[in-house]
Structure formats: structure tokens, C-alpha cells
Amino acid sequence: MKDQINTIYKNHSQFYKILLFLTTTFLIVFIFPKSGRFKYNFEKGKPWQTENLYAPFNFAIQKSKLKIAEEQELIKSQTTYFFDKDISVEDKVKNDYDVAFNKVFNDSISNFNQLKSKGVAILNSFYQYGILNEDLKLNDNSSVVILVDNVEKKSTTYSKLQKQGKIKDHIENELKEGNLLRYTNKLTALFFDVIQSNLIYNKTLTDNVLQESLDKISSNRGVIDKGTLIISKGEVVNDDKYQVLNSLSKEYESQVWSKSSYNWIVFAYTLLVALALLMLLLFIRKYRLDVYKNNTKVTFIFFNVLVIVLLTTLVINYNSEYVYLVPIAILPLVLKAFFDARLGLFTHVITVLLLGSIVPNSYEYMFLQIIAGIVTILTVSELYKRANLFISVGQITLVYIIAYFAFFVIHEASIDNLKWETFGLFILCGLATLFVQPLIYVYEKLFGLVSDVSLLELSDTNSKLLKELSNKAPGTFHHSLNVANLAEASANEIEANAMLVRVGALYHDIGKMKSPTYFTENQSSGINSHDELSPKESAKIIINHVLDGIEIAKKYNLPDRVIDFIRTHHGTSQVYYFYMKEKAKNEAVNIQDFTYPGPKPFSKETAILMMCDSVEAASKSLKEPTSSKIDNFVENIINKQKDDGQFLNANITFKEIESIKKVLKRKLANIYHLRIEYPE
């Protein structure tokens, strides 16, 4: 049991990665749409490239959205409008008319009976169908049904219904025929006093009847029997064939896969996702071993892949037309900021391949996204410079637009129906990509990672910690600045992370703040504090500046990547001066008392700092320096470090070490202002 526990403990990192791999696979498969995909790709107006296709089963041909919309508009234009009629209104109005007419008109006028009869006739014409309480502004030919107590009484057209706004015109036309025009004003005023509307629009019933008609629209326009030839090889996919193929494709997704083979689909998706994530994990293990060994970094990479897949799936489930709104270019941007371009691009390609199994027009989508990822990697450099990010996002957006335009022309052979709104999606996607800056900050806090943006902030010599270093140990601060300049130039020469090594150089000796006067660069009074100490005590103080530096760095929350420079800048070398001094007194001296605890440098950047730190510190002892002296001096120091095996754990080559030597020789020659000796 104890042995099993020890085995688990020793291999806990591997177990964690296996658990992470399985969990990520499960989550991606879980959020994927659970439908199969039609195995053939087809495009309208293009030849059918595969073998003759026969119907594998009976299926209905679905109508296009445009056809269904046309049928809906036709039904809406032919809809019937229902009105409720109040039959008591007509009798009341006629009674009121008799009373009012006798009051307004004197029976002594010559046309009294004729005028009264004309008024009754007008009322009858008004109430033949009825008077509306409001004008609905419908088409005159619209069908109308008049209901009395919810029972149909009359059917007519909207033009036959009387509108209150047209009553005056109707009266004038009627009175012209009987030479009664001079009574128009009085009779009109009388009518307006007594007339009441008796038709009320029944919107609820009208809408219900319309909806019933719309619901009866069939989404299908026919059936294809099993075994029927759908399309032959080489035949052009016209509108009709496209609709048939599209119907078959949807039938596969909605019935064949989801109902009869759901478990097989899930199993197949699991295989694909697991295979893709396994390739990513193997790539990290083979080419980025330092990342692979860090579980936090591996988790960070898988987490970002999962987030991109989740966002894209959500958009597809909502509306697949908005799929290009997802800023996938953020993925390579983030990974390049924290790791490197190669890992960022490989992860981006794996993610796009995963999404290719669920997005529509998968080839077009994958082409656009992979090209955008390549452009992202090639164009974005020095992400901490805001102008660079804006320029790169503009280039990414332009590549999206150009590639989409090319695909559209290939598919349609014209630009007449170009979807300009898609260009808007690309622009919005570009704007969303700018969110990478605050996202990087959030990731730094969540995962404890360090980007170039943070390194730029740490390189500010006005920061609190570096200010404290310059006040307590000014000589050490000046030494750190010189080392930073040498290290940055060396890193640029071999294409290492110049910003990282500069920051590491600025902070590598902060431990000397604890006992600044015990280091020669801070001894301005000419008094050497080591004169009162034994060589062993002096060596302990010198060695402890590494441990003190780590303690101070953690107190000020410096990132681990920066603390690594403090740990490794002396490797496992010896405090040689005090060792020899002690050895002169005692032959049985323990060399471990004079040896730095290490570890040795384990990256190009930490190796560069060790070289530059040793060369810069020792260069102060050069007297009357010449080019040859400097060359030998640099060669001796770095060769000794190399012979001591200080660079065995760093992924730095002999060629790169030689390049660094050349940079240091050139820089030191410039520092000491060496000139060619001209003859007098």
C-alpha cells in the first residue's frame, strides 16, 4: 500500500495530465451539437463531384425559406377581417333621426317629405353593411365578414363598409341627385349628431384565423422515394437539386443520427476530440518540455481551447450565420504572449480542426481561421505596444475580408448577391480581438503567468523595489543596469526573450540590499567589511544574497520567471576568492561551504544572465584594458563556466555561446572607449 502511494505521489503530475486530458475531452464532446453530418459537400451552381447519389430512404423535400415566406405573404394578403355588428344601433339612430329632423326642418318647406325620405335612404345605405368605429386603412378589396352574436351574417369587401371620415362626401353626392344641395350643411350636421358606428373590428378572431391558415402551410413540397436517383456525377447542382440535397442533409442530422445512432455519434466525436487533444499534448511534450512539466501551463492551454470551443458552439446554436463573430485569433495571441509563436499556432490549428466538425461550410471556415492564425503569429510582435496590436488586428480583419470575398466569388461566380453584413461581422470580430489586452491581465492573475506586458512594467527603474535598490545599494543598482544592457544585446543576438532577460538582470542582485556594504561595488569609504570576518563567514554572506533576493522577490510578488534569474545567476559556482583564502589557512576546507546552492541555469535567458553578470562584475578589475585583454578576459570567464557544466541544463548551443562572447567583447570595448592608436 505504501509503495502504491509513493508511486502515485511520484507520478502525480502525469496522473493530473491524464485527468485534465479526459476532462477536457468530455467537456468538449458534451458541448458539441449532438448531430451527425452529411458526408457529402455540395455547393449551388457547382458540379456534383462524387458518385451518383441515390436516396437511402424516403424523405420529404423541404421548401426553402424564401418559398415559405412567399406563401405566408400570399395568405396574409388574402386574409379575411372580422367585424362585430351591434344591431340595436340602427333602430336607435333612425328614431333619433325622426325626432331631430322635425326639430331642424320646418314641415312648411316645399321639399320636406322628399328631404326626409332622402335622409332615411342615406341612413339605410350607411347601415346596409355598417359604419366603422375606426378606419383600418385596409385594401378596398380585402374580404370582410360581419358577425352578429358571433354568427356570420354578411360577407363583403372593405370598400363597402362606411367610414366616418367619408360621411360628408357621401351625403353631398346623394343630395346632388335630388336638387337638395342647399340643405347639405344642415343635414350633415344632423347626421353627425345622430349617427353612431355599429361595426367593431374583431382583431382576436382575425388573428386566430390568419394564424390557423399560416400553420397549415406545409414545410415540404414533395417526397423522394428510397432508391430514386437524386443527382448524377458531374451534374450541376441547380436550385431544385440543391433543395433536395439540403433536405436529405437535414434529414440525416435530425433523424438518422440523433435517433438511431446517438451513442455512435458521441463515441465518434470522443475519438476525434481525444485524438486532436492528444496531438496537442504530444507536441507540448516533445517540443516544449518546460511547459509540459508545468501543470499550470498545460491547464492554461487546455482551458483556452475549451473556452474557444464553448463560445463558437454557443454562437452556432444561436445562429450559425454569426460564427465569424467569435474572435478566435485571441487564442494564438494569448499563447504567443505567454509562450511562443510555434505553440500558439499549433494550438490554434488544433482548435480550428476541432471546430471544423461542427461549423457550416467547414472547409471555408477552417481556411479562413488558419490563415488568420498565421497572420496573427507573423504580424503580432511586442504585444505590449498598443499600436502593434491595432495594426495586427487591422491586418487580421483585412485577411478575413479578402479570403471571404474570394470564396464567395468562387461559389457564386459574381458579386451581385455579396453579403456585405458578413464584412461587418469580421470588423466586429477584429474589435473583439482587442479584448486580448485586459484578458492577458486577467490570465496573469488567475494562472500566475507572465507576459511581455508585465515584463515592461517590471523593467521600469522607477518601480518601488528598484528605487529601494538604488538607494540602499547604488553600486549594485548601477551594476544591474550594465548587466541588463549586456544581457539584452546578447539575447537579441541569439533571438532569445530580450525583455525577460533584461528584467531578470535588473532584479538578479536585489538580495544585496540586506548587507550592501559587504559587496565591493557599494564600498565607497575604502573600508572593507570583510576584514573583520573569517573567509567562511564572508562566503556565507556573499552566498546568502541569492536566498535573500528570493525572499525579497516573493515579498514584492515578483513572478516566478523573474525569481528564476535570482536563483540561477551564480548556478553552483564557488566564491573562489574566500575559498582560496580559507584554504591557505586550512587544507581540510569543505568546498560546499563556499558553493552557491544553485540550481544551474535552465534556459537560454538564465544562461545569458550568468555570462553577462560574471563578465560585467569581473571587468572592473581590468587595468589598462586593450582589445586583446578584453577578448581573453571574456573567453576565460565563459569557458570556465562552460567547463564547470553550468550550461548543461540550459537549451543553449555552442554556436549561441560564441555569438554571446562576440557581443560581450564588442560591448566592453565600447564601454572602455578603446580606440585605434594613431601614430604621432
What is residue 412's predicted lDDT score, i.e. its pLDDT? 65
CA distance 58 to 61: 10
Whether the per-residue pLDDT at 121 is higher than 50: the answer is: yes
CA distance 107 to 407: 88
Give the neighbor-by-neighbor strand order of the sheet with 143-148: 151-157, 143-148, 80-85, 199-201
Q: Do residues 128 and 134 make contact, with C-beta atoms less than 8 angstroms apart?
A: no
447 — pLDDT class (breaks 50, 70, 90): confident
Looking at per-residue pLDDT, the higher value among 447 and 170 belongs to 447
**Mean local confidence (pLDDT), 127-134:** 84
589 — pLDDT class (breaks 50, 70, 90): confident
What is residue 68's predicted lDDT score, i.e. its pLDDT? 84
Structural domains of the chain, ranges and CATH numbers in brackets:
2-31+262-447 (no CATH), 74-214 (no CATH), 456-671 (1.10.3210)
Cell numbers placing 251? 434529414
CA distance 498 to 483: 12
Looking at per-residue pLDDT, the higher value among 465 and 584 belongs to 465
Whether the per-residue pLDDT at 70 is higher than 60: the answer is: yes
Q: Do residues 136 and 201 make contact, with C-beta atoms less than 8 angstroms apart?
A: yes
Query: For 410-433, what is each residue's pLDDT tens digit?
Result: 766 667 767 778 888 888 888 888
Q: How many CB atoms lie within 10 A of CB 457?
A: 11
**Mean local confidence (pLDDT), 544-552:** 93
Which residue, chain included where needed, has cell 509503495? Answer: 3
Whether the per-residue pLDDT at 441 is higher than 80: the answer is: yes
Q: Please state whether the peptide bond connecting residue 599 to the residue before it is cis, i.e. omega within 30 degrees of 0.
A: yes
Q: Do residues 371 and 283 make contact, with C-beta atoms less than 8 angstroms apart?
A: no
Picking from 452, 403, 455, 407, the residue whose alpha carbon sits closest to that of residue 426 is 403
CA distance 474 to 178: 118
27 — pLDDT class (breaks 50, 70, 90): very high
CA distance 533 to 550: 25
What is residue 386's predicted lDDT score, i.e. its pLDDT? 64
Q: What is the DSSP string of 555-624?
A: HTT--HHHHHHHHHSSTT-B-HHHHHHHHHH-TT--GGGGB-------SHHHHHHHHHHHHHHHGGG-SS
What is residue 394's predicted lDDT score, i.e. its pLDDT? 85
Whether the per-residue pLDDT at 36 is higher than 60: the answer is: no
Query: For 507-516, what is each residue's pLDDT tens digit?
Result: 999 999 998 8
641 — pLDDT class (breaks 50, 70, 90): very high
Q: Which amino acid is at 486?
A: L
Picking from 538, 530, 473, the residue whose alpha carbon sits closest to that of residue 507 is 473
Query: For 350-376, what is each residue's pLDDT tens digit?
Result: 999 999 888 877 888 899 899 988 988
Whether the per-residue pLDDT at 679 is higher than 60: the answer is: no
**Which residues are within 8 A (CB) of 243 and not within 5 positions of it... i.e. 6 or more apart?**
61, 62, 63, 64
Q: Do residues 39 and 253 make contact, with C-beta atoms less than 8 angstroms apart?
A: no
What is residue 49's predicted lDDT score, i.e. its pLDDT? 65
2 — pLDDT class (breaks 50, 70, 90): low
Cell numbers placing 288? 516544449
**pTM for the whole structure:** 0.63
